[in-house]
């Protein structure tokens, strides 16, 4: 009976361990399945350090277990007095020198990778995006392209994209675990990093620095598409027809409501609207750019992209993102009005290139 | 005076005695009680956090309250629980270990305790009007922009308790330098005394950085300066530097004293002297020194550039070397010994694998590029709880079980001790091991909710279940304290029968003057030396003679109340200038106390030779 119980226990522990190891998180969010240059560099070092440190841990545990098994006081040994050993010069040298060597083995690739990831010598020839972090949304302006967008950052696969990041309020941190490690977005200085995605996909981005009540809801996406699709997207975004009439009457009414209710004060529907300048002053934009809102992957960065959620957001953003800056900035709307506005916004689809192009 | 008269006093007199005490042992117990109270409060906050994170998109508490909860949990545990409990152990034990009758500045000792307690109470009063919500690191500009008075309570509360800690640190340094018994050379000091000494030096150099940071933030929030306001030419990153120049040594302030505890517990229960004593002392200094060189590893993602990141990465890795030396020295202290396992020993033995994991992940975090992934994720949460719980909390519990008979004259119950150990130990690993993976799976820290379908549900649920195990362990420990106080077994002087250091040569609990005659110390582990030579007692270094002891005083308490009133005034004068009355009157109270202390001579009291001979030892 006892033996059977023992075996089940071992089996159970094994099962538990296996399920831990299998659960590496979901694709395109987890850092454990790197899909970009920075994430791969980090993963190499994570693996190297984990292996070395596990080795150290095993050595410690072997000595520990042997000690506890061999030298535990047994019955009848109460009066035994062990030899009082002061130390052992040779042993002490060994456990000083070996760790120094191990540290060097970790230090050299760390330093090399640190310089590699901060290399911006060729930034001028590549795509440069000015990123602005805001409570609780992200703004992206493509330098020299006259394109702006928010929340979904489109990039081509296989190319380095340089991000020049600045915050309009408090510190945020730009993190797309599957593509790259994070970097803080400060209010006083522009921080530059680059990302490079290997495969097409919609990658989860997270804010990683406490920035207020809705810190955990400041999600965004990096949408990596093929270079051709990216060029097409750029072209589409540069040629948005701002005078186009919405398709149906509801949407037309929505557009009128959008204009009548101060929405334009903060939200541009034109991709080329005035750019952001470097500097700590929050000179706008004060709300996400909605040019390609119909193609967004999520409402407010977190909710499934559908009309119902959008209406909920317009009616009461506070209940979805506590502490957001949109609440109270516009007159109260009726359900019908909100639905019209939603209808209008969901029709803003200037490009064929959408999250679906990246396989979402 | 003495124990017999104290027991017969009424409640009022006993209360007065505790409020005015300058006895390092009583102040030690006060620190333990105050720190213990805040530990329970911080634990409650932790449980609320884990309930909120038990399932995705949970709505147990609101986003704003959640941020207050994490801020108060961190601040309380570091400043008001872990550090005061350690100060309590140091206060009680260190003077006994060096053969002293009190600390160098008993009045200052009392003042330090009351400042800590009132600072902690002040900080927690913020719960009634809105607690601080910018994280325990309180980064600007979020903290500058935080509405309400929460952050102001944080500033004033930490300023008060920080001043108390600084006083404690200075006091211990002077005590160890000047008040060692005859023959107690530096290299004969027990390791716990050594680590108290080094941790005090760290306090002396690290806390001023926090003090400065808090003052700058106070001016920014209350008097319109702009040290951290980028729009007016300030720089918020300066706060991060100041905070971590304090904050990283703070980690060593928390861990070095418990290294000392383990270095006492292992030799006692293995009946073997500490392996590599000299190396242990130097490793402690090396860790302390390097501890000041590595603060920017908390800031790898701030954008300091590759040169700074590389330098701080390599410096951080270097700390692994002296820490490794310590681990191996403990293992080889046990090797060849006669190991007796009881609760104190269980906590110490559990420390070795737990802290080694914390150290491993520490080296992993030091690799700057790998840290770009770990930083501000649950990996970091896992790491520092392995260090602070697996190190500091295990060490505190080992120390409490080990010294409880010395402090209170009774053994903690062994069975209850083991129940609390095993539940807490299992709960601890359940809670925090999985968090390393959660972090890498894309869960940043300080997240009020995590979304559905992100693969984070199971890990968070396991973590929350672990928290309940830990809570159960703590509750059993509390029951143990109550049980022991009522029915505990009485302890003799040398409570474990294999004590090696001076605290085991005097009665349990010690008389208020500790040593009737100061002992003559003839080497490392003085009691052990006497025992091996067949002596039952220490050789006295002086004849029985009058003992000079300090008088108690109510001034430290009144002075602290003055400072607290002034702090309260500072917090609220931003809205209503009438609160300046509180500022001025509070400071006036404190100044009058200082003046009284300066002008009124207090020569202490003497315990006569006759009384000493009557009491016996």
* Residue B78 predicted with pLDDT over 60: yes
B596 touches chain A (CB under 8 A): no
Residue of B278, B329, B369 lying closest to A114 (CB–CB): B369
Contact B67, B473 (CB under 8 A): no
- What pLDDT does B1 receive? 38
* Residue A77 predicted with pLDDT over 90: no
B285 touches chain A (CB under 8 A): no
The two tokens of residue B235 are 């720089």
pLDDT tens string B297-339: 999 999 999 999 999 999 999 999 999 999 999 999 999 999 9
What ranges in B275-367 are assigned the alpha helix state H?
277-291, 306-318, 320-334, 343-366
In degrees and rounded to multiples of 5, residue B575 shows phi and psi of -95, -35
Question: Which pTM value belongs to this model?
Answer: 0.94
pLDDT tens string A155-167: 999 999 999 999 9
For residue B451, which residues of chain A lie inside 8 Å, CB to CB?
Answer: 219, 302
Nearest to A280 by CA among A128, A163, A165: A165
Nearest to B115 by CA among B163, B155, B152: B163
How far apart CA B57 and CA A17 sit, in angstroms, is 26
Contact B119, B78 (CB under 8 A): no
B437 touches chain A (CB under 8 A): yes
Concatenated DSSP letters of B72-109? HHHHIIIIIIIHHHHHHHHHHHHHHHHT-SS-S-HHHH
How far apart CA B602 and CA B617 sit, in angstroms, is 27
* Residue A7 predicted with pLDDT over 60: no
- Does the distance separating the beta carbons of A25 and B373 come in below 8 Å? no
| Average of per-residue pLDDT values in chain A | 90
Q: How far away is chain A from the Cα of B131, in angstroms, using its nearest Cα? A: 13
For residue B277, which residues of chain A lie inside 8 Å, CB to CB?
Answer: 86-87
Distances (CA, A) of B138 to A212, B171, B413: 12, 29, 41
- What pLDDT does B240 receive? 97
Concatenated DSSP letters of A293-305? GGG-SEETTTEES
- Does the distance separating the beta carbons of B324 and A56 come in below 8 Å? yes
How far apart CA B70 and CA B190 sit, in angstroms, is 37
Residue B19, C-beta contacts closer than 8 angstroms, at least 6 positions apart: B554, B557
Set out the domains of chain A in order of their start, with CATH numbers. Answer: 249-358 (2.60.40.420)
- What pLDDT does A271 receive? 79
Q: In which band, very low, low, confident or very high, does the pLDDT at B231 lie, cut at 50, 70 and 90?
A: confident
- Does the distance separating the beta carbons of A60 and B334 come in below 8 Å? no
For residue A177, which residues of chain B lie inside 8 Å, CB to CB?
Answer: 373, 440, 442
Interface-testing mutation among A27, A58, A111, with chain B (most B C-beta atoms within 10 A): A111
- Does the distance separating the beta carbons of B377 and A46 come in below 8 Å? no
- What pLDDT does B5 receive? 47
- Does the distance separating the beta carbons of B442 and A206 come in below 8 Å? yes
Residue with tokens 């994170």: B53
Which 3-state string (H, E, C) describes B504-549? Answer: HHCCCCCCCCCCCCCECCCCCCHHHHHHHCCCCCCCECCCCCCEEE
* Summary count for chain B: helices (H), strands (E): 23, 2
Residue B555, C-beta contacts closer than 8 angstroms, at least 6 positions apart: B107, B593, B596, B597
* Residue A31 predicted with pLDDT over 90: yes
For residue A105, which residues of chain B lie inside 8 Å, CB to CB?
Answer: none
Residue B103 CB neighbour total at 10 angstroms: 27
Of all residues in chain B, the one with the smallest CA distance to A56 is B360
Give chain A's radius of gyration (CA, Å).
28
DSSP helix/strand/coil, B41: helix
Contact B143, A212 (CB under 8 A): no
For residue B324, which residues of chain A lie inside 8 Å, CB to CB?
Answer: 56, 95-96, 99
Query: How many CA atoms lie less than 13 Å away from B174 in the CB half-sphere?
Result: 13
Interface-testing mutation among A15, A37, A60, A74, with chain B (most B C-beta atoms within 10 A): A60
- What pLDDT does A12 receive? 57
Is A91 buried (19+), middle (13-18) or exposed (0-12) by CB count in 10 A?
middle
Concatenated DSSP letters of B134-171? STTTT-TTHHHH--SSHHHHHHHHHHHHHHHHHHHHHH
Evaluate whether ipTM surpasses 0.90.
Answer: yes
Task: Give me the mean pLDDT over the B509-523 stretch.
Answer: 95
Set out the domains of chain B in order of their start, with CATH numbers. Answer: 2-496+525-553+602-615 (1.20.210.10)
Q: Which of residues 216-275 of B touch A (CB under 8 A)?
A: 230-231, 234-237, 270-273, 275
| Average of per-residue pLDDT values in chain B | 95
Task: Give me the mean pLDDT over the A122-127 stretch.
Answer: 91
What ranges in B488-554 are assigned the alpha helix state H?
526-532
Q: How far apart are the first and last CA of chain B?
A: 14
Q: In which band, very low, low, confident or very high, does the pLDDT at A10 lie, cut at 50, 70 and 90?
A: low
Give chain B's radius of gyration (CA, Å).
24
Nearest to A204 by CA among B64, B125, B28, B444: B444
Q: How far away is chain A from the Cα of B348, in angstroms, using its nearest Cα? A: 12
Q: Which residues on neighbouring strands pair with residue A153, listed in sequence order?
A: A222
pLDDT tens string A225-282: 999 999 999 999 999 887 888 888 999 999 999 999 989 888 988 877 555 554 445 6
For residue B356, which residues of chain A lie inside 8 Å, CB to CB?
Answer: 56-57, 60-61
The two tokens of residue A154 are 């489109």
Share of chain B above pLDDT 70, in %: 98
Q: In which band, very low, low, confident or very high, does the pLDDT at B3 lie, cut at 50, 70 and 90?
A: very low
Cα B426 to chain centroid, rounded: 23
How far apart CA B249 and CA B198 sit, in angstroms, is 11
Q: How far away is chain B from the Cα of A1, in angstroms, using its nearest Cα? A: 25
Say what angle helices B11-20 and B24-52 make with each other, to 10 degrees. Answer: 90
Say what angle helices B106-125 and B83-98 make with each other, to 10 degrees. Answer: 170
B328 touches chain A (CB under 8 A): yes
Q: Which of residues 351-380 of B touch A (CB under 8 A)?
A: 352-353, 356-357, 360-361, 363-364, 366-373, 375-377
The two tokens of residue B516 are 């009737």
Residue of B234, B279, B372 lying closest to A42 (CB–CB): B372
Interface-testing mutation among A35, A208, A279, with chain B (most B C-beta atoms within 10 A): A208
Cα B533 to chain centroid, rounded: 38
- What pLDDT does A180 receive? 97
B444 touches chain A (CB under 8 A): yes
The two tokens of residue B313 are 């990465």
DSSP helix/strand/coil, A149: strand
The two tokens of residue B150 are 């929460």
- What pLDDT does A265 receive? 86
């Amino acid at each position: 009976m006892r033996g059977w119980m023992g075996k089940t226990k071992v089996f159970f522990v094994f099962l538990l361990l296996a399920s831990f190891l299998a659960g590496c998180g979901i694709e395109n969010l987890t850092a454990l399945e790197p899909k970009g240059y920075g994430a791969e560099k980090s993963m190499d070092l994570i693996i190297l350090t984990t292996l070395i440190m596990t080795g150290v841990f095993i050595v410690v545990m072997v000595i520990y277990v042997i000690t506890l098994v061999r030298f535990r006081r047994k019955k009848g040994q109460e009066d035994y007095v062990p030899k009082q050993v002061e130390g052992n010069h040779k042993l002490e040298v060994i456990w000083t020198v070996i760790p120094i060597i191990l540290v060097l083995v970790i230090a050299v690739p760390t330093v090399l990778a640190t310089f590699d990831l901060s290399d911006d010598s060729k930034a001028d020839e590549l795509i440069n995006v000015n990123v602005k972090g805001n409570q609780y949304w992200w703004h992206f302006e493509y330098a020299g392209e006259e394109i702006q967008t928010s929340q979904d950052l489109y990039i081509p696969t296989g190319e380095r994209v340089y991000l020049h990041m600045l915050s309009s309020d408090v510190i945020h941190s730009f993190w797309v675990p599957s593509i790259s490690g994070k970097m803080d977005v400060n209010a006083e200085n522009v921080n530059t990093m680059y990302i490079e995605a290997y495969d097409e996909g919609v990658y989860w981005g997270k804010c990683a620095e406490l920035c207020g009540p809705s810190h955990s809801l400041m999600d965004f996406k990096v949408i990596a598409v093929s270079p051709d699709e990216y060029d097409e997207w750029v072209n589409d975004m540069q040629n948005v027809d701002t005078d186009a009439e919405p398709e149906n009457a509801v949407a037309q009414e929505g557009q009128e409501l959008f204009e009548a209710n101060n929405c334009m004060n903060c939200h541009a529907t034109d991709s080329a609207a005035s750019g952001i300048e470097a500097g700590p002053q929050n000179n706008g934009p004060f709300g996400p750019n909605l040019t390609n809102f119909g193609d967004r992957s999520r409402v407010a960065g977190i909710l499934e992209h559908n009309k119902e959620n959008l209406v909920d957001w317009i009616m009461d953003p506070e209940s979805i993102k506590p502490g957001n800056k949109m609440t109270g900035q516009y007159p109260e709307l009726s359900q019908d009005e909100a639905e019209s506005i939603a209808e209008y916004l969901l029709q803003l689809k200037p490009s064929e290139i959408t999250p679906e192009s990246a396989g979402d | 005076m003495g124990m017999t008269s104290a027991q017969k006093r009424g409640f009022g007199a006993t209360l007065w005695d505790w409020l005015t005490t300058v006895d390092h042992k009583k102040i030690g117990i006060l620190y333990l009680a105050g720190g213990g109270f805040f530990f329970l409060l911080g634990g409650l906050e932790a449980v609320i956090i884990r309930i909120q994170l038990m399932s995705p998109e949970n709505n147990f508490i609101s986003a704003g309250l959640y941020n207050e909860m994490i801020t108060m949990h961190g601040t309380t545990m570091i400043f008001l629980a872990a550090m005061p409990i350690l100060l309590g152990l140091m206060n009680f034990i260190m003077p006994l270990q060096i053969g002293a009758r009190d600390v160098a500045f008993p009045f200052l000792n009392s003042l330090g305790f009351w400042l800590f307690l009132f600072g902690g109470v002040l900080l927690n009063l913020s719960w009634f009007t809105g607690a601080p919500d910018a994280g325990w690191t309180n980064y600007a500009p979020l903290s500058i922009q935080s509405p309400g008075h929460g952050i102001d309570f944080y500033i004033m509360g930490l300023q008060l308790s920080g001043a108390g800690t600084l006083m404690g640190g200075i006091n211990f340094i002077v005590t160890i330098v000047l008040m060692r018994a005859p023959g107690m050379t530096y290299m004969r000091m027990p390791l716990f005394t050594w680590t108290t000494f080094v941790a005090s030096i760290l306090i002396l150099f690290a806390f001023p950085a926090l003090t400065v940071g808090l003052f700058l933030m106070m001016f920014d929030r209350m008097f319109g300066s702009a040290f951290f306001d980028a729009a007016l030419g300030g720089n918020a990153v300066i706060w991060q530097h100041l905070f971590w120049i304090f904050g990283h040594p703070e980690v060593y302030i928390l861990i070095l004293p418990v290294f000392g505890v383990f270095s006492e517990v292992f030799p006692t229960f293995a009946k073997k002297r500490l392996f590599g004593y000299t190396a242990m002392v130097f490793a402690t200094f090396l860790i302390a020194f390097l501890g000041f060189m590595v603060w920017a590893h908390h800031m790898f993602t701030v954008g300091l550039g590759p040169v700074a990141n590389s330098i701080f990465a390599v410096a951080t890795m270097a700390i692994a070397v002296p820490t490794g030396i310590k681990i191996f020295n403990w293992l080889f202290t046990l090797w060849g010994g006669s190991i007796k396992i009881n609760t104190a020993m269980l906590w110490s033995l559990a420390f070795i694998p737990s802290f080694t994991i914390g150290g491993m992940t520490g080296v992993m975090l030091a690799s700057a590029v790998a840290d770009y992934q770990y930083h501000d994720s649950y990996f970091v949460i896992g790491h520092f709880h392995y260090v602070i719980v697996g190190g500091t909390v295990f060490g505190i519990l080992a120390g409490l079980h080990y010294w409880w008979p010395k402090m209170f004259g009774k053994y903690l119950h062994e069975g209850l001790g083991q129940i609390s150990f095993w539940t807490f130990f299992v709960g601890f690993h359940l809670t925090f091991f999985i968090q390393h993976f959660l972090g890498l799976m894309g869960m940043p820290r300080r997240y009020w909710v995590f979304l559905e379908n992100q693969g984070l549900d199971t890990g968070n649920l396991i973590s929350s279940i672990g928290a309940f195990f830990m809570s159960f362990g703590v509750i059993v420990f509390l029951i143990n304290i109550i049980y022991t106080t009522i029915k505990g077994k009485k302890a003799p002087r040398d409570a474990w029968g294999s004590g090696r250091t001076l605290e085991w040569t005097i009665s349990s609990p010690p008389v208020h003057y500790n040593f009737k005659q100061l002992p003559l110390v003839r080497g490392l582990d003085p009691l052990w030396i006497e025992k091996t030579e067949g002596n039952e007692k220490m050789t006295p270094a002086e004849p029985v003679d009058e003992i000079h002891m300090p008088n108690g005083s109510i001034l430290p308490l009144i002075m602290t109340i003055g400072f607290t009133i002034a702090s309260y005034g500072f917090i609220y004068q931003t809205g209503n200038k009438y609160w300046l009355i509180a500022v001025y009157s509070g400071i006036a109270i404190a100044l009058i106390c200082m003046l009284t202390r300066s002008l009124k001579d207090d020569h202490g009291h003497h315990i006569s030779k006759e009384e000493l001979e009557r009491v016996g030892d």
